[in-house]
Amino acid sequence: MTVTNTPDVLSECTADVAMTLMLMVARRAGEGEREVREGRWTGWRPTHLVGTKVSGKTLGIIGYGRIGQEVAKRAHHGFGMRVVIQNRSRVAQEVLAQCSATQVDTVEDLLPRCDFVSLHCPGGAANRHLINSRRLDLMKEDAFLINTARGEVIDEWALTQALMFNTIGGAALDVFDGEPCIAPDLMQCGNLVMLPHLGSATREAREAMGFRVLDNLADFFAGRDPRDRVI
């Protein structure tokens, strides 16, 4: 059996969605959009839907592969954010230097330091519920959690509790555990932004993914080892 994937071609678009989610949850854009569509907006007022500034804050990135690095570029160079990263292996100093990033050893070291935490680690059994109630308790009470990695990385029951009791500032998810089914309790959290797995959903990324598949098929049927072989 031969299995291939489509690396590289979706990194930028997924990073764009991570930044979209970060801005949406910080500035309460989802709440505002619902209010306007439902006819509940009564006009400008000084304390209405006051959110959180993103520029200049500290961003924690868990998983510093292709997508994590693209998020760091956008956050640091575009929004002046300080970047703290946790990765399962040491990241080369020259890579960290591109965004003046600081690497810490553990998730526990990262979480208390950050205003925003963005997940870009692999899914699977090893990282299932990487973000659990104990680790959510380490986050600042006004910090935000963003997930464009895999749904199973977060214990969604624990996240629901953190959101409902306001022990963190909010969360924004593009992926869910068991999607497309979404835990009903999550749907009740007003301080949660949800997107339907749109990370690679641009015309450019999806076309590039398709052509990458064709390249791997061409390699396979020509007797060559596919360039993106994982198994």
Tokens of residue 79, six digits: 């929004």
pLDDT of 15 over the 90 cut: yes
What pTM, to 2 d.p., does this model score?
Answer: 0.95
pLDDT of 8 over the 90 cut: no
The answer to whether the CB of 178 falls within 8 A of the CB of 156 is no
What is the band of 9 on the pLDDT scale with cuts at 50, 70, 90? Answer: confident
The answer to whether the CB of 104 falls within 8 A of the CB of 81 is no
Tokens of residue 90, six digits: 């040491």
Q: Which residue has the tokens 């959510």?
A: 136
222 part of a folded domain: no
The C-alpha angle 103, 205, 197, rounded to 5 degrees, equals 70
* CATH code at position 118: 3.40.50.720
Total domains in the fold of the chain:
1
Q: Are strands 144-147 and 192-194 parallel, antiparallel or unpaired?
A: unpaired
Q: Is 12 a catalytic residue?
A: no
Q: What is the pLDDT of residue 186?
A: 96
pLDDT of 144 over the 90 cut: yes
144 part of a folded domain: yes
Q: Where are the alpha helices (DSSP H) in the chain?
A: 11-26, 29-37, 66-73, 79, 93-97, 107-110, 133-136, 156-164, 184-187, 203-221
89 part of a folded domain: yes
Residue range of the domain that includes 74: 11-40+51-199
Q: Determine what percent of the chain falls in helix, strand and coil, rounding each to the nearest 5.
A: 40, 15, 45
- Of 76, 179, 206, 229, the catalytic one is 179
pLDDT, tens only, 82-139? 999 999 999 999 999 999 999 999 999 999 999 999 999 999 999 999 999 999 999 9
Q: What is the pLDDT of residue 119?
A: 98
pLDDT, tens only, 18-33? 999 999 999 999 999 9
Neighbour tally for 120: CB within 10 Å: 28
229 part of a folded domain: no
pLDDT of 68 over the 90 cut: yes
Q: Is 35 a catalytic residue?
A: no
Q: In DSSP terms, which residues pair with 131 in a beta bridge?
A: 154
End-to-end CA distance of the chain: give it in Å, rounded.
7
Per-residue pLDDT, averaged over 54-72, amounts to: 98
- Of 28, 120, 135, 150, the catalytic one is 150
- Of 27, 66, 128, 197, the catalytic one is 197
Q: Is 94 a catalytic residue?
A: no
65 part of a folded domain: yes
205 part of a folded domain: no
112 part of a folded domain: yes
213 part of a folded domain: no
